[in-house]
Amino acid sequence: MIKITALEKFYRTEEVETIALNKLSIEVKEGEFVAIMGPSGCGKSTLLNILGLLDDPDGGSYLFNGTEVAHFNERKRADLRKHNIGFVFQSFNLIDELTVFENVELPLIYTGVPSSERVSRVEKVLDKMQIMHRRNHYPQQLSGGQQQRVAVARAVVNNPKLILADEPTGNLDSSNGNEVMELLTDLNEQGTTIIMVTHSEHDARYSHRIIRLLDGQTVVENIMI
Amino acid sequence: MIKNHIKIAWRNLVRNRTFSLINTVGLAIGIAVFIFIMQYIAFEWGANRFHKNYKKLYRISTVYKEGNSSHYIAPGFAPLLKTNCPVIENYVRIADVAGNGIVSYLADRNSDLKSFREDKVAYADPDFLRIFSFPVIQGDASLNEPQTLALSKSVARKYFGEASAIGKVLTVNNQFGHTLYTVTAVYEDMPAQSDIKADILLSFKTLENPALRNDNDWADPKGLKSGFVNTYLLLKDNADTQQLSKQINNTVHQLQPENQTDPMVLQSFSDLHLAPSFNYPLQTFGNLLLVSLFLCIAILILIIAWVNYINLSIAQSLNRTREIGVRKVLGAVRKQLIGQFLCETFLITLGGVFLALLIVILLQPVYNDFLDKNLSLAILMQGWVWLIAPALILLGSLLSGGYVAIVLSSLNPIKTIGNKLDGFTRGISLRQGLVIFQFTVSIVFIVSTLVLYKQLGFMHNQDLGMQVTQRLVISGPEINGGKLRSQSFKNQLAALPFVQKYAASNDIPGRGYNFSADGITRLNPTPGDEKKSFSMLLIDNNYFDTYGIQLVSGQNFTANDVQNGYSNAQRIIINQKAAIQFGFKREDNIVGQKINWGKQFEIIGVVKDYHHLSLHEAIQPMIFLPAVSTGFYTIKLNTDHLQDKLNTLKNLYAKQFPGNPFAYFFLDENYDEQYKAEQKLGDIFITAASIAVFIACMGLFGLASFIARQRTKEIGIRKVLGASVLNIVRLISTDFLKLVIVAIIIASPIAWYAMDKWLLNFAYRITIQWWMFLLAGTMAIIIAFITVSFQSVKAALANPVKSLRSE
């Protein structure tokens, strides 16, 4: 599903050039659950941003379902993103001005789903995430775990093929964290590919494979059994 | 999508109540000012357009070789022109104000005489009420018969109450004597938008009878010499005006070949109020320059308000960078984000427009008082306003909202989700530019206001060379006057204990001269002397003393001189300017000299120059002539118990001059009337300056809060490293003060240029001084500093641990 080859990303200031990704090559197959780990500054988030088409690589190739997307323009990227990729962030990133229902509905609006269908799809996913009873609440009225459930609901409402999760449990206590991990596992079992950046060995154990990065390169891959 | 846009826009506005309110109010003030000014412009623009013949009417003017023009032409031409030029369908001649005087009505022997001084009495041709669209509500529109008149509705009511005016007889006492007129028509009061204003229309035919002209043969309607009527031509459809112009000049110059250098021109009725260009040679009723100035102010304030909107919106949207990022991550394309921000701009603008309308409705009476006009929103219900105003508001929202939308939608989602503002600094220089623009406009207004008030103060405080305070002026009688009564009135004034001084003159300071004349020279003139003009004033022997005008040499007139009149006495007094114009070298040698003015006159005294008219004009060479004057009585008195004194004077006046209304005014107030235009301009500028500064400060406030937020981390680090609150405040404020200083540098030459031009209107004027710019600049800096320090102190007081942790 995803094949990156010799991917490079540099950050330049006036005098210093920092290499974030150094000819990184990774392949992720459809239906996989991959965890990416590594110390701060190893390039995890940069990789996730590029995989999520939020950022451009400076070199190398990125095949998404066999299509070269490394140099897509903004509009094409947005299009690909909204139909295929869901995001879950450490800090949830819900829009404070919108209710739970409206937050989850938003991706459907941007993909042009008609209103009646939106309601049924949002309700279905809220039900699945067990936050239906909170549908008219605003994010600030929810606990952290509930907020992340809403964020996951928002990420999956469009039935994306790929979910990118950036430390999804980082702001949660362990019981809420486990709940979210269970959710992701469920989704994966239903066929969604998941790539998750995490610091937590515990969370990483939910995945099929751990990719460890150091200085923008893969140092080791562990296959989980 | 739109629903979602509106929903989130609304929630955002509600959530940031204070900001939304400031933003909406700022915009509303700008729009309200704009609407107010558009009312005025619509009023000026719409002047005279209510006449159904508006497009077919022309006024004849003469352009003199000196470059000035006059619309007063001799009445005898119009009938000749109609005969010679077939495209002239009709004409109407109006001798405005020529009929002014006292109009009285006596219902029967037993009732009281109703008598009023009327100052809008015109002689007009029979078709006046047919050619112009002043609806006749009673009687016959024609003034065909001599000694007939038409009255406006309110004047008719003044004389006859609710009773019908038609057929009633009024007595008109004016320069043409004492004439009876029968009322044949009553018309609706002439609207404020009419440049032709008359309360009473007298049949012009009346003056064809020499007996009804009181020896004023210049006023013969067939005369070709004296220009005293406005001549309006009603042309046939599709008339060639250039051709007509030629025909008119041919006709006139055949009769008067000596005037060939002074061509007659046709002034289109549509150019009667506002000139079509700034160098239009003919006289207009309105002031294009003032209208343009007003328009500039309106547009500038509107722009300032939009600029403000941009700065405040961007500052406010800082709270929403994360939202923007999330939306982008979820698949929003730029177009959709721009749509959302435009939607918010539109909501704010809509709110601003409604609030502006509310402000306009509430403040309309104040504004009307200020302009001395009766304006309302109704005047804006015109086709072009409906087109232009929404277009302007839409354009403004698109430009300002569009800019905000583009800046915000261009943010990089990765950075905004991390709440970093690096990508946001784009456009900061533009926003700084906008603040500079706002302050430049504000400073130009402040400097202009300072110069204006300084000039006004100078004019008020300038030594006029005479005394104008505590001088009460009573208008002289129009009827039942005469030398004897006048002398007797003066004697009785002298006997009143509160009358300190008194004088009679035929005109007064601040109002005008009796006439101007040339052909007055020394006995041994040099060539060209005969062309020099002198301003003449008819006065009695108390005039100089009552006005405190200083006699430099020689002596005053005697009572005998006054009784004899200047023609018999052959004695005159001149001012210093006149002495110079005559060519005399030293004042002491002048007294006793003779001058030639048809016959010889002896100069018996020279008075020190004084400002007979406002400081707009240079002091004229004046000649004072002794005469039993009945035009104005000036009384010097102490204003304590004024009402009692006025009652005494009124009784005395009524006894002495029966049938004349008692009209009085204070000279200083009357003299200041000459500066009314400047006073008004001053008021306009001070208002414009305050509004501009106020709105600009709101924009500055927005930018300051943005910068303070942006530099939170820096401020935190500086504080950890030991910076004091004062250090931080200085750090942030300095950047803004720099903007204001740039604005001062840009504004100063603009203001200097504009005000230097304006001051040229005055013969006596102040010089623009550096401290005015310094003062304006200091004011701007102080205001800006207060605005900014509100934000910078807040930033400086914030807990550094908190600001650093948020990174």
Q: Summarize pLDDT for B617-657 with one digit per residue, the tens.
A: 889 999 999 998 888 999 999 888 899 999 999 999 988 88
- Whether residue B133 lies within 8 A of chain A, CB to CB, comes out as no
d(CA B87, CA B234): 9
- Chain B residue numbers with beta carbons less than 8 Å from the beta carbon of A79 are 331, 333
Q: At what angle do helices B288-316 and B428-461 cross, to 10 degrees?
A: 140
- Whether residue B779 lies within 8 A of chain A, CB to CB, comes out as no
Give the mean model confidence (pLDDT) for residues B660-677. Answer: 87
Give the mean model confidence (pLDDT) for residues B598-605. Answer: 92
User: Could you tell me the pLDDT band of residue B423, with boundaries at 50, 70 and 90?
Assistant: very low
Q: How far is CA B786 from CA B143, B544, B781, in A?
A: 68, 55, 9
The C-alpha of A177 sits at a distance from chain B's nearest C-alpha, in angstroms, of 21
Give the mean model confidence (pLDDT) for residues B235-249. Answer: 90
Is pLDDT at A121 greater than 60 in this prediction? yes
d(CA B244, CA A2): 88
pLDDT tens for residues B509-563? Answer: 988 888 888 889 988 888 888 888 899 999 999 999 999 999 999 999 999 999 9
CB within 8 Å: A75 and B333: yes
CB within 8 Å: A93 and B322: yes
Of the listed ranges A17-31, A148-162, B36-50, B331-345, the least confidently predicted one is B331-345
Give the mean model confidence (pLDDT) for residues B205-234. Answer: 88
- Whether residue B6 lies within 8 A of chain A, CB to CB, comes out as no
The C-alpha of B192 sits at a distance from chain A's nearest C-alpha, in angstroms, of 53
Give the mean model confidence (pLDDT) for residues B13-34. Answer: 83
**What is the percentage of chain B residues whose pLDDT exceeds 70?**
96
pTM of the complete model:
0.75
Give the mean model confidence (pLDDT) for residues B451-464. Answer: 88
**What is the percentage of chain B residues whose pLDDT exceeds 90?**
34
pLDDT tens for residues A30-72? Answer: 999 999 998 888 888 889 888 988 888 899 999 999 999 988 8
Given a contact cutoff of 8 angstroms between Cβ atoms, the answer to whether B283 and B73 are in contact is no
pLDDT tens for residues B321-352? Answer: 777 888 888 877 778 888 888 888 888 888 88
Instruction: Collapse the DSSP code of B322 into the 3-class scheme (helix H, G, I; strand E, B; otherwise coil) and give the result.
Output: helix
Query: For residue A27, what pLDDT is reported?
Result: 92
Query: For residue B807, what pLDDT is reported?
Result: 38
Mean pLDDT of chain B: 86
Given a contact cutoff of 8 angstroms between Cβ atoms, the answer to whether A4 and A211 are in contact is no
- Whether residue A109 lies within 8 A of chain B, CB to CB, comes out as yes
- Chain B residue numbers with beta carbons less than 8 Å from the beta carbon of A107 are 330-331
Mean pLDDT of chain A: 88
Query: By CA distance, what is B328's nearest residue in A?
Result: A78
Q: At what angle do helices B725-759 and B712-720 cross, to 10 degrees?
A: 130
CA neighbor of B794 nearest in space, from B690, B708, B672, B683: B708
Is pLDDT at A166 greater than 80 in this prediction? yes
Helices (H), B621-675: 642-656, 667-672
Mutation site, A53, A83, A96, interface B, largest B CB count within 10 A: A96
The C-alpha of A110 sits at a distance from chain B's nearest C-alpha, in angstroms, of 6
Query: For residue B209, what pLDDT is reported?
Result: 92
Give the mean model confidence (pLDDT) for residues A105-113. Answer: 84
- Chain A residue numbers with beta carbons less than 8 Å from the beta carbon of B423 are none
Give the mean model confidence (pLDDT) for residues B307-319. Answer: 76
User: Could you tell me the pLDDT band of residue B419, with boundaries at 50, 70 and 90?
Assistant: low
* Cα dihedral B666, B669, B672, B673 sign: negative
Is pLDDT at B481 greater than 90 in this prediction? no
pLDDT tens for residues B631-642? Answer: 899 999 988 889
Is pLDDT at B364 greater than 70 in this prediction? yes
Query: For residue B806, what pLDDT is reported?
Result: 47
Q: Going by C-beta distance under 8 Å and a sequence separation of 6 or more, which residues neighbour residue B567?
A: none
Opening angle at CA B116, ends B111 and B121, nearest 5: 130
Instruction: Collapse the DSSP code of B554 into the 3-class scheme (helix H, G, I; strand E, B; otherwise coil) and give the result.
Output: strand
CB within 8 Å: B334 and A94: no
* Beta strand spans in B236-271 (E): 264-268
- Chain B residue numbers with beta carbons less than 8 Å from the beta carbon of A106 are 4, 327, 330
CB within 8 Å: B328 and A78: yes
Query: For residue B169, what pLDDT is reported?
Result: 93
Opening angle at CA B26, ends B352 and B365, nearest 5: 75
Mutation site, A101, A103, A110, interface B, largest B CB count within 10 A: A110
Query: For residue B340, what pLDDT is reported?
Result: 80
Buried b (16+ CB within 10 A) or exposed e, B582-610: bebeebeebbebebbbeeebebbbbbebb
Mutation site, B1, B2, B330, B409, interface A, largest A CB count within 10 A: B330
User: Could you tell me the pLDDT band of residue B603, with boundaries at 50, 70 and 90?
Assistant: very high
Query: For residue B421, what pLDDT is reported?
Result: 52
Is pLDDT at B776 greater than 80 in this prediction? yes
Given a contact cutoff of 8 angstroms between Cβ atoms, the answer to whether B324 and B416 are in contact is yes
Q: Going by C-beta distance under 8 Å and a sequence separation of 6 or more, which residues neighbour residue B299?
A: B34
Q: Going by C-beta distance under 8 Å and a sequence separation of 6 or more, which residues neighbour residue B724?
A: none
Is pLDDT at B601 greater than 70 in this prediction? yes
Query: By CA distance, what is A86's nearest residue in B?
Result: B330
* Beta strand spans in B133-229 (E): 136-139, 148-152, 169-174, 177-187, 200-203
**What is the percentage of chain A residues whose pLDDT exceeds 90?**
35
Return residues 56-115 of B near A (CB < 8 Å): none
- Chain B residue numbers with beta carbons less than 8 Å from the beta carbon of A89 are 417
Cβ-in-10-Å burial (0-12, 13-18, 19+) of A61 comes to middle
Strand B57-63 to B264-268 pairing: antiparallel
CB within 8 Å: B414 and A78: no
Give the mean model confidence (pLDDT) for residues B110-138. Answer: 90
Query: For residue B626, what pLDDT is reported?
Result: 94
User: Which of A82, A97, A107 has the CB atom closest to B11's CB atom?
Assistant: A97
Task: Name the most confidently modeled range: A164-168, B339-343, B388-392, B677-681.
Answer: A164-168
Give the mean model confidence (pLDDT) for residues B710-732. Answer: 77
CB within 8 Å: B326 and A94: yes
pLDDT tens for residues B168-190? Answer: 999 999 888 889 999 999 999 99
Is pLDDT at B614 greater than 50 in this prediction? yes
Query: For residue B196, what pLDDT is reported?
Result: 92
- Chain A residue numbers with beta carbons less than 8 Å from the beta carbon of B327 are 95, 106, 110
CA neighbor of A79 nearest in space, from A114, A50, A107: A107
Of the listed ranges A106-110, B73-77, B116-120, the least confidently predicted one is A106-110
Of the listed ranges B245-249, B312-316, B371-375, the least confidently predicted one is B312-316
pLDDT tens for residues B186-195? Answer: 999 999 889 9
Query: For residue B355, what pLDDT is reported?
Result: 92
Query: For residue B677, what pLDDT is reported?
Result: 79
d(CA B155, CA B161): 9
Query: For residue B132, what pLDDT is reported?
Result: 93
Query: For residue B428, what pLDDT is reported?
Result: 63
